[in-house]
Chain A
Amino acid sequence: MARIIAGVASSHVPAIGAAIDNKQTEEPYWKRVFSGFEKSKEWMAKAKPDVAIVVYNDHASAFSVEIVPTFALGCAAEFPPADEGWGPRPVPVVKGHPELASHIAQSVILDEFDLTICNKMEVDHGLTVPMNLLFGSPKEWPCPVIPLAVNVVLYPPPTAHRCYMLGKAIRKAVQSYPEDLRVVIFGTGGMSHQISGPRAGLINSKFDKAFLDNLTRNPKKLTKISHLEFMREAGAEGIEMVMWLIMRGALDDKVEETYRFYTVPASNTAVGHIILEPKNKAAGKKKPAAKMKRAAARVKPEIRRSK
């Protein structure tokens, strides 16, 4: 039986990708951002998932305004990096997991979530930046990826509650897959930011912190946040955070926060990152519990801020 062993949330700021591609990660401005993901990379290297489901949004790369699917699941064998205007990012082609992806599609559609199925799709920084942050910059990505593109560009995106419930349906789908696969699910985007109009530059750390706090213990509260509140408090583009709730919905009701990182800014955006694991971690691990405890002890929750 496949199972979800952890949830990861991370911002997907395009400038982070540019800093990686232009080898600026050691510059003080960027080091502040990247240093927050060092422990996460160690954690991921130990977690060694068999598959990653990455919830993200497309930014006028694969989808223009001609067709705007609310939820689009990538069922292809591979997903080439999109040309976002400066040539495709120099990252490996993302390999899919068509068998699990089509199983998820069939399961959640019958659970009344009307997904769009993408058998051919390019992926942009929304997906590849969080991959870099958690997997580094390897020649090949270490595991297959199932992209789930969510419309958060054209208002209205799916509601926070709908996203959370889709997460639950995805969890059910994964658990009904016969092969013994260990799956990590990513929620990406956010945190507070607005990049459009005269109010551009908006950051709301109070909102972000409260969001992170509630994500672990009280996600149901977050499912009640209206789109108006997201946009007003966290910026017009901060509404991306609904995608984190798909990740959260796919996890156990009770989870532990393994790691947290928050810094302002990366270009126009508050960078937030969290790793959540089931309380009964043994259930999700291959290795003996004692060994994993030591590994977990090295990755203590932590907050850094630059202000």
Chain B
Amino acid sequence: MARKDMRKAQDYDDIPGTFVFDAERSRQGFGINMFCMSLMKDENRKAFKANEPEYLKKFNLTPAQTEAILKRDYNRMLELGGNIYFTAKLGATDGHSFRHLAAVMTGSTQEDYADMMLKGGRSVEGNRSKSGRPAKNILVAAGKPAAKPKASKPKSKSKARSKRG
């Protein structure tokens, strides 16, 4: 059997702070997303809440995927093949708003995140490329790529693990 976590390099891997849910991640993350989908049913939400590790055994997850779910590490879930529309269902099961998830993923507070959005959102300037490769755009010419992308890593990881609902 091919290694589950192997991943081919893709042009979009150069976009900082972004885990593109592609065919490969979809294959790897099938269990994560099916687990999240199961949370659409109330009886499943209750069973999950009653014993999380036990409930997760039904979904053929890797140890890393199980850990990411138990720790509510939303970025790690995306990296291991989760998709945001699915993982948001886990957030909802915990009683969290989407803003909470956004704050966790961006390593900011909910207030700071909401404030950034009100001010027009995160700028694309400095957030185009990890490598600094110039962007060949059809629509709007990109400015000079900044040396260091701003949205590389969330500042605090502890936030992602604080609330277990």
CA gap between A264 and B117 in the complex, in Å: 8
Which residues from B are CB-within-8-Å of A154? 21-23, 26, 83
> Could you tell me if B140 and A65 are in contact, using CB atoms closer than 8 angstroms?
no
Interface residues on B, range: 35 or more
**Proximity bits, B115-147, A CB within 8 Å = 1, else 0:** 011111111100111000001111110100000
CA gap between A270 and B106 in the complex, in Å: 18
Q: With CB as the reference atom, state the residue of chain B lying closest to A68.
A: B26
> Could you tell me if B19 and A196 are in contact, using CB atoms closer than 8 angstroms?
yes
Interface: B70 (CB within 8 A): no
Within 8 A of B (CB), among A130-181: 153-156
> Could you tell me if B116 and A201 are in contact, using CB atoms closer than 8 angstroms?
yes
Tell me the smallest distance from the CB of B153 to a CB of chain A, in Å.
6
- Most A CB contacts (10 A, CB to CB) among B36, B107, B127 go to B127
CA gap between A145 and B11 in the complex, in Å: 38
Interface residues on A, range: 35 or more
Q: With CB as the reference atom, state the residue of chain B lying closest to A202.
A: B122
Given contacts A198-B154, A206-B140, contact A231 B33 (CB under 8 A): no
CA gap between A15 and B97 in the complex, in Å: 11
> Could you tell me if B120 and A203 are in contact, using CB atoms closer than 8 angstroms?
yes
What is the interface of chain A mostly: helix, strand, loop, or mixed? loop
CA gap between A206 and B124 in the complex, in Å: 10
> Could you tell me if A205 and B139 are in contact, using CB atoms closer than 8 angstroms?
no
Within 8 A of B (CB), among A201-229: 201-207, 210-211, 214, 221-222, 224-229
Interface: B152 (CB within 8 A): yes
Within 8 A of B (CB), among A36-86: 59-60, 64-66, 68, 83, 85-86
Given contacts A154-B22, A196-B78, A202-B122, contact A207 B85 (CB under 8 A): no
Tell me the smallest distance from the CB of B13 to a CB of chain A, in Å.
10
> Could you tell me if A264 and B152 are in contact, using CB atoms closer than 8 angstroms?
no
Interface: A275 (CB within 8 A): no
> Could you tell me if A210 and B30 are in contact, using CB atoms closer than 8 angstroms?
no
Which residues from B are CB-within-8-Å of A85? 39-40, 89, 92
CA gap between A1 and B85 in the complex, in Å: 40
CA gap between A219 and B114 in the complex, in Å: 34
> Could you tell me if A65 and B26 are in contact, using CB atoms closer than 8 angstroms?
yes
Interface: A25 (CB within 8 A): no
Q: With CB as the reference atom, state the residue of chain B lying closest to A193.
A: B121
> Could you tell me if B137 and A233 are in contact, using CB atoms closer than 8 angstroms?
yes
Q: With CB as the reference atom, state the residue of chain B lying closest to A15.
A: B98
> Could you tell me if B113 and A229 are in contact, using CB atoms closer than 8 angstroms?
no
> Could you tell me if B129 and A236 are in contact, using CB atoms closer than 8 angstroms?
no
CA gap between A46 and B29 in the complex, in Å: 48
Q: With CB as the reference atom, state the residue of chain B lying closest to A160.
A: B138
> Could you tell me if A197 and B119 are in contact, using CB atoms closer than 8 angstroms?
no
Which residues from A are CB-within-8-Å of B105? 196-198, 200
Which residues from B are CB-within-8-Å of A270? 121
> Could you tell me if B84 and A155 are in contact, using CB atoms closer than 8 angstroms?
no
> Could you tell me if A65 and B102 are in contact, using CB atoms closer than 8 angstroms?
no
Interface: B34 (CB within 8 A): yes
Q: Apart from A203-B123, A226-B138, A233-B142, what 10 extra A-B contacts exist at CB < 8 Å? A: A65-B30, A153-B85, A200-B17, A202-B151, A203-B117, A203-B120, A211-B139, A231-B20, A264-B117, A307-B120
Closest CB pairs A-B (n = 3): A203-B121, A199-B17, A198-B17
Using CB atoms and an 8 Å cutoff, list the residues of chain B in contact with chain A: 11-12, 15-23, 26, 29-30, 33-34, 36-37, 39-40, 75, 78, 83-86, 89, 92, 98-99, 102, 105-107, 113, 116-124, 127-129, 135-140, 142, 151-154
10 contacts between A and B (CB under 8 A): A15-B98, A60-B33, A193-B121, A202-B151, A203-B123, A204-B123, A232-B129, A233-B124, A236-B18, A267-B98
